[in-house]
Amino acid sequence: MSRPKKEQVHIHSVKLYYECILMVSGKYIADYYRKATHTISVPSNVKEVELGDGVFQIRSKSGLKKAFVGKRGKNKIDMKLEEHVFVEEEDEIAFDHHGREIKFPFKVNSKTVENYPKRLLQKNEPNVKRPEMTYDAALEKLQSRLKKPLEADVRELSEEFVLRDISELYVPVFEARLIGPKKKVGIIRIDAVRKKIL
C-alpha cells in the first residue's frame, strides 16, 4: 500500500519504440425491400381505407371499447406495406499494434507528423513495433461494425463495401525500466507526442 520515496527508485534504462496504430476507414451501402406494418389513426366512423389496389380494414375492437366509442374516438388501421430501404454507413476504426480497438487520441498536423517518416523507421528498425493484426482482419472488424443485422423479410438485397483508406501511423513511446526497493522492477510508458503516461 505504501509508495516508495523518489530516492528509492532509479531509472535502469530508457528505450524509444515506434508503435503502430492501424487506421481503417470505409463505407457500407445497401439497397433492399422489406415488409413493414404502419399503423394510422382514422375517425371512428371509418371502417376501411383503400390505397391503390389495397383495402385495409380497421382493427377489430373488444366489446368494451365498442361501448365507449363515440364521435370523438379513433379507429386504428394496420397497413401491411413494403418499404424500399437505402442504407449508407461510414466509419473509421483505430487499432493499437496488438490489434485492440482504441479511440484515436492524436491530432494529425504538421507539428505532430515527422517530415521523413520512412527514413526514421528504417533507422530505428529494431525498435519498431509493426501491427500484429492483418489488414484483412481490420477490414472484417470495420465491415461488421458498419453492416447492421438485416430484417428477416428482405428481398432484392444489393450491398457494397467501399474501402476508403488503410493507414499505419507510428507513435514514439518511451519505455523506462525502473528499479525500486527490494529490487522490484516496473516499466513506465510515456507517449512522446502527448507527453502522457500510458
Output the nine-digit C-alpha cell for 38: 404502419
Examine the domain organization and report whether 130 and 170 are in the same domain. Answer: yes
Instruction: Please write the tens of the pLDDT for every residue from 74-103.
Output: 888 888 888 899 999 999 999 998 999 999
H or E segment at 66? helix 63-68
Helix (H, G, I), strand (E, B), or coil: what is residue 177? strand
pLDDT for residue 61: 63
Examine the domain organization and report whether 55 and 72 are in the same domain. Answer: yes
H or E segment at 174? strand 154-179
Instruction: Please write the tens of the pLDDT for every residue from 124-147.
Output: 888 899 999 999 999 999 999 998
Among 62, 97, 95, 86, CA closest to 76 = 62
pLDDT for residue 26: 95
Examine the domain organization and report whether 121 and 104 are in the same domain. Answer: yes
Query: Which residues of the chain carry a pLDDT beneath 70?
Result: 1-2, 61-72
pLDDT for residue 135: 93
Domain membership of residue 169 (yes or no) is yes
Q: How many domains does the chain have?
A: 2
Last residue of a domain, one of 52, 84, 116: 84
pLDDT for residue 142: 93
Q: What range defines the domain where residue 64 resides?
A: 34-84
Domain membership of residue 20 (yes or no) is yes
Last residue of a domain, one of 84, 102, 120: 84
157 Cβ contact partners less than 8 Å away, ≥ 6 residues apart: 30, 31, 32, 150
Examine the domain organization and report whether 11 and 102 are in the same domain. Answer: yes
